[in-house]
Structure 1
Amino acid sequence: MLKTYTGSCHCGAVRFEADIDLSAGTGKCNCSICTKSRNWSAIIKPEAFRLLQGEADLSGYEFGTKSGQHLFCRHCGIRPFGRGYVEQIGGHYVAIQVASLDDVTPDELIAAPIKYTNGRDNSWWDTPAEIRHL
């Protein structure tokens, strides 16, 4: 079910709204940055995302193919969302860190399906052999 959530970084400098259907699935990846940051995200289209405040408070990091901009608050370091373009997932996207949603309930998170991807081996469409650590 599509629901409008509010989200933020830890210090509150960055705030956003996002229309997300958590029942459509979330994702965790085993690539180097996702493993180190304990990434758990929901991918949405840019038109379903509204940055309410904090554009100037964001800093970004890109690596590899530079298809994704990993954004973080320059004050508290939290990564509330990222942006990018990947043709295979429909082009432009916003990746919402579900842990940054202020009004999501534990029950909603528990019920959200998780798709695991094997970014470590650049086999993004496959499930890694081991996922318990993700």
Structure 2
Amino acid sequence: MRTYRGSCHCGAVHFEADIDLSAGTIRCNCTLCAKQRNWAAIVAPAAFRLLQGAAALSAYRCNTGIEQHVFCAVCGIKPFHTGASPQRGPYVAVSVACLDDATAAELAAAPVSWLDGRNDDWTIRTDPIGP
């Protein structure tokens, strides 16, 4: 477990999160995640702290409206989203691409699990799922 700092592109939004990248990351094939090439580390809400930029965030809710996909209204980057799932309860999905101090080696070593969001099947899988 390590505390990572992250931000959007323009620097309006800054956050920190306690993440164990070796515990794994998530990729989803729903149309939103696929088009954004979303790759996230899932943490409990208590492990995430928005340090700056709440006023710069805008939100988008799709399908069920359970997940709140937030993005910087200045540069458009989506540094995290929030939601709740039957397996995890409330969570924050932190975009690993927005972690400013994660090394390339840490990211390359992070295991990836897959979700079939396109078919509303949220079972965690170890093999990639096609569109």
TM (normalized to structure 2)?
0.94
Q: Which amino acid aligns with 1:70?
A: H
Question: What is the distance in 1 between the residues matched to 2:46 and 2:128?
Answer: 34
Compared CA separation, residues 119 and 55, structure 1 to 2 (3 A): same
Tell me what 1:81 maps to. Answer: 80
Distance 1:132 1:84, change over 3 A: closer
TM-aligned CA deviation for residue 108 of structure 1: 0.2
Q: Which residue does the alignment assign to 2:14?
A: 15
Q: Indicate the structure with greater strand content.
A: 2
The Cα of 1:50 is off from its aligned counterpart by 0.7
Distance 1:130 1:108, change over 3 A: closer
Q: How many residues align?
A: 131
Kindly indicate whether residue 114 of structure 2 is the aligned counterpart of residue 96 of structure 1: no
State how far apart, in whole Å, the 2-side matches of 1:126 and 1:52 are: 30
Distance in 2 separating the partners of 1:58 and 1:126: 29
Q: CA deviation at 1:132?
A: 7.3
Shift of the 115–92 alpha-carbon distance from structure 1 to 2, 3 Å rule, reads same
2:41 is paired with a residue whose SS is strand
Question: Matched residues in 2 for 1:126 and 1:6: separation?
Answer: 26
Taking a change above 3 Å as real, the CA distance of residues 129 and 104 of structure 1, as seen in their structure-2 partners, is closer
Q: Which residue of 2 aligns with 1:109?
A: 107
TM-score, normalised to structure 1, is 0.92
Report how far residue 89 of structure 1 moved.
2.6
In structure 2, list runs of 5 or more residues that go unmatched.
none
Identity of aligned residues (%): 56
CA contact (8 A) 1:13 1:54 kept: yes
CA distance in 1, matches of 2:18, 2:77: 20
Cα pair distance change 1:25/1:126, threshold 3 Å? closer
